[in-house]
Chain A
């Protein structure tokens, strides 16, 4: 058991927030409250990023996910005026069972991997240094050199998704 430090307290609190509100998001009946729970989860994750000395990731997490994407979610939910979900009868038993099985398998895999992972040694970390927070230009340089291919493929993926969404919505109107 590591000594109780300020960092550990913040870590515990942020992780608890993230996990508890992720759970709340799933079990919540009102869609608007689900979205809000997810916002709190993102805040928890962003605090964890700050603990890892990555404030850039933390700010992006809030700005992009909480600030843009979830506001869009909220907009759509309010536009369609989605009310509370009613407990509908189980009309897709196969999917439900399959989903449960896949979730259990994934959970087991993650738990097993976590338990078997080597415990990092105590003391200051050694090894190659990843770009530190003040080196946002370094991060950009890495993205456009070593990881250029992955970066471009990702942007292509986003473009495909945008074009696909346009196509789907157009087809419906015609």
Chain B
């Protein structure tokens, strides 16, 4: 087998693995977890009729969406109304390409790094894609020819710009410490030593402030409660996707959960050491599998956090959201950058 063919096969296998796990296993179960958790927190059973413990509820929902009629409102911008969910969904599906989900596995005489594309612009790639996804929301709101939807789209554009800035500056501190935009390098750096002698060198310790800003901003970026103002069903019917039905609505639904998974994976990678664990030096096939399990556990924790927060906190008002972004998070993220710069300069991290 020629080296080019082997590389192509390796890439295809990794893409199949990541999409298989994310779309086939995590996504449907996440919908179930979200609804059951909601039931638990609100002291009611939640979906428990379809399949054992209601586990097949997600499949029933997806089937229902396939069967329903795809309605395009009169006087809507047909072209943009049709492609808006795609603009949101495609970046959500491609973010996973640069996130390292394990160390590396030695198979068939090849060292296979467990990341689809180890590009040197890793962090920027993720930010670029998430910022493109916003067009899906904004255009859905605009193309629907509905005032509620328009308000939702308008809110999402303002919200994302406000939070992307603080989030980006927090991420700059991470790459300042790691010295590279490559996500594999960021993970290797965090696995490489200790902080203050007894803590792992995970960025969440020296950059606790930046980590907090990143996590909260991720809630705003993924439009999750307490920052789901583009949707805000209590004020805007269903916000940007008011005029969507059937599988186009399903695509928005899918994209929201994919973004949630990607954001959780990014938090685990940037601030919590990715696949690394102190004292764990994965070697061989078993080591590779363990590193994947560690990464999955960390990502799973943040997914759980997203769901937990959604059913716990009430929604912010829009002016509170903007104030928090511009007047609190932006200065704090700059402070975090300066502190991290000093730590790097004095060789603490």
Contact = CB atoms under 8 A, between A and B. Distances in A.
By size class, the interface of chain B is 20 to 34
B181 A79 contact: no
B154 A71 contact: no
A154 interface: no
Contacts of A149: none
- The main secondary structure of chain B at its interface with chain A is helix
B150 A78 contact: yes
25 contacts: A32-B80, A33-B80, A36-B139, A58-B121, A62-B128, A63-B127, A63-B131, A66-B131, A66-B132, A67-B127, A67-B130, A67-B164, A68-B164, A72-B157, A74-B138, A74-B157, A75-B158, A78-B138, A78-B150, A78-B154, A78-B157, A79-B154, A133-B121, A136-B120, A136-B121
Nearest to A134: B120
A118 to B, nearest CB: 32
Contacts of A133: 120-121
Interface string A57-81: 0111011001110011011001100
Contacts of A55: 119-121
B124 A71 contact: no
Given A36-B80, A67-B164, 4 more contacts: A63-B131, A71-B134, A72-B161, A74-B138
Contact of B161 (A33, A59, A62, A75): A75
Contacts of A60: 124
- The main secondary structure of chain A at its interface with chain B is helix
Contact of A63 (B120, B124, B160): B124
A39 B133 CA distance: 12
A137 B175 CA distance: 11
A60 B181 CA distance: 13
